[in-house]
Chains A and B, each alone.
Chain A
Amino acid sequence: MAKTRRKATKAKSRKSLTKAKSRKRTVAGRSRKSVAKKAKPAKRVAKPKARKRLAGLKSRKPVASSNARKPGKKATARKAAKKSESVESPAESPKAVRLTFSYQGDQVKLVSQQPVEMTVPPSDPLKGYEEHKGFWAEVKNAQDKTLFRRVLHNPTRNDAEVFSDDPEQSISLEPAPKRKGVFVVVVPDTDKGHEVTLSRSSGLPDIPEGSPRGMTAMRSLATGPATEIARFKLKK
């Protein structure tokens, strides 16, 4: 009996804490908006530091932050929203996560997960792409069901587009091996999201150096059906 009462008390205090945090977030959100609105006539948006000061916000760390998503905060925000998120219609919710990946050769790493209040373009088709070639990112639930999918122009390819003034062939490709860099995928922030996967078609086997230019470049052309190349846990 006493145990039950203790549990109820704990739940109650958790709830009030949640409400308080939710109020804080709402106020912060409103302040931020009003700051942006104030800045509108001059069309100058304040730098983050100034904006933070004006809004009295405890800032979230941008992109590179590894601890940007603190447990509890997200759940609180969700409760405050008082609506269930629809992954299939992400536009209904302004909550998203910006995933920043780095790549070097075939190696891809998830560098950061940044929660952002923003609208996400709708998902690409969630069915019927099993044998497709290309490159895409998927948000999976705990049962490995795809909740959201974003088709990308392969960001890890070993070639690069080159532009010329030739009106007939203003664009062509050149092999650009050993490329490294970063790419970004924005996905809806949802309770159901458990992992993010990346899928990519494999290229042709290596062709010896000195082969004709177009042939050498084929190494990097994705030709077969895509397979999963990486899987990362989404922070809760």
Chain B
Amino acid sequence: MGSSDGQVQGLTKIADAGQPTQRWNVVIVSEGYRSDEMAQFTTDAQQFADTLLTTAPYDRLRVAINVYRVDVTSTDSGARDPTSCGGTGAKPKTYFDASFCTSGIRRLLVGNSGRVIKVVSKLLPQWHMALLQVNSSIHGGSGGSVATFSKAPNAIEIALHEMGHSAFGLADEYEYFAGCIADHGHDNHSGSEPSQPNVTTNKNRATVKWHSLIQAATPVPTTQNANCAGCDPQPSPVPAGTVGLFEGADYFHCRVYRPEFNCRMRNLNQPFCGVCQQVIAQKLAPFLPPS
């Protein structure tokens, strides 16, 4: 169990933008890959790096971003999948003990973050963002200081969403907790202004956090939820990519606003909204080489 079930093989730079002291360093770590599966991890890690560096706004910031891969072998392949959540009951011996069904939640895939941090810090003290790629085709993942994701189709989207939280402090822009139908008590936001840069309770066009991105012709608020007992069903009244004030975000149906109708922080497989892109660009500005 644990670190006796595998071996740390080393660190490899797979996207090189320069010295790690000067650049923003993303590290992707393997979990549940046997030694004979490490070639697959090389491919998977490269796929992640390629996706990251072709995703806006990272695509135009790629000269600021190093991506590294940490090869860690495990005795067995995959991740634990307890039957209590409807899983297969698999109990592979892996280095970071990744498991589905964390806290009884089927798709909550979590590894030993402390161990990941220890391994990554030894190999690359300058890391900014650590991700754990789990060798499983079951859809799952989790956030935190170490974003974890599986190899299921689209699971990279989980990693990109969680990076928004972990690396840039972005809030969730969805307007429900368990779901639009399942929710109870998520009608109205408390009123305290969220500290995150991409959600707000402020309806004032002149003073809202992202006022500089709102065009004069865009109505503010841009959408309002007519029934705060549930999610707002109306389609966007403005073209995609329009920054405004859309009611419903931060797990509440009303009295809190998001910057665009859709965003990767609201729904997977969507681009980051303009405000999230701006925040990411601002945070990565010091890592850009001098022009």
Give the B-binding residues of A (Cβ under 8 A): 33, 36, 40, 43-48, 60, 62-64, 90-91, 94, 98, 100, 102, 114, 116-122, 124, 129, 131-136, 150-153, 155, 159-165, 167-179, 181-184, 186, 201, 211-215, 217-218, 221, 223-226
Contact = CB atoms under 8 A, between A and B. Distances in A.
B192 A176 contact: no
B125 to A, nearest CB: 5
Contacts of A121: 24, 128, 283-284, 286-287
Given A45-B12, A90-B286, 20 more contacts: A45-B13, A62-B118, A62-B121, A118-B126, A119-B24, A124-B197, A133-B192, A134-B194, A153-B196, A160-B142, A161-B143, A161-B162, A173-B178, A173-B251, A178-B103, A182-B113, A183-B144, A212-B184, A218-B177, A218-B186
Contacts, number: 222
Contact of A164 (B14, B113, B139, B251): B139
B11 interface: yes
Given A173-B177, A223-B192, A153 B169 contact: yes
Contact of B180 (A120, A169, A225): A169
Contact of B107 (A155, A164, A182, A201): A164
8 contacts: A91-B286, A116-B126, A117-B125, A119-B287, A133-B192, A155-B144, A163-B155, A226-B195
B251 A160 contact: no
A133 B193 contact: yes
Given A98-B121, A151-B195, A181-B144, A47 B177 contact: no
B84 interface: no
A178 B103 CA distance: 9
A160 to B, nearest CB: 5
B165 A134 contact: no
Contacts of A169: 174, 176, 179-180, 267
Nearest to A183: B145
A166 to B, nearest CB: 9
A132 B171 CA distance: 13
A153 B166 contact: yes
A119 B286 contact: yes
B259 interface: no
A44 B145 CA distance: 25
Interface of B: 8, 10-14, 16, 19-25, 68, 102-103, 105-108, 113-114, 117-118, 121-126, 128, 139-145, 154-155, 157-158, 161-162, 165-166, 169-172, 174, 176-180, 182-186, 190, 192-197, 251, 266-269, 282-287
Contact of B125 (A98, A167, A174, A224): A98
A161 B142 contact: yes
Contacts of B193: 129, 131-133
Contact of A160 (B8, B23, B103, B158): B103
B285 to A, nearest CB: 7
B31 to A, nearest CB: 16
Nearest to B25: A118
Nearest to A175: B103
A176 B10 CA distance: 34
Contacts of B19: 33, 36
A181 to B, nearest CB: 5
B104 to A, nearest CB: 8
Contacts of B190: 133, 223-224
Which of A94, A214, A218, A223 lies at the interface centre, i.e. has the most chain B CB atoms within 10 A of its CB?
Answer: A214
B156 to A, nearest CB: 11
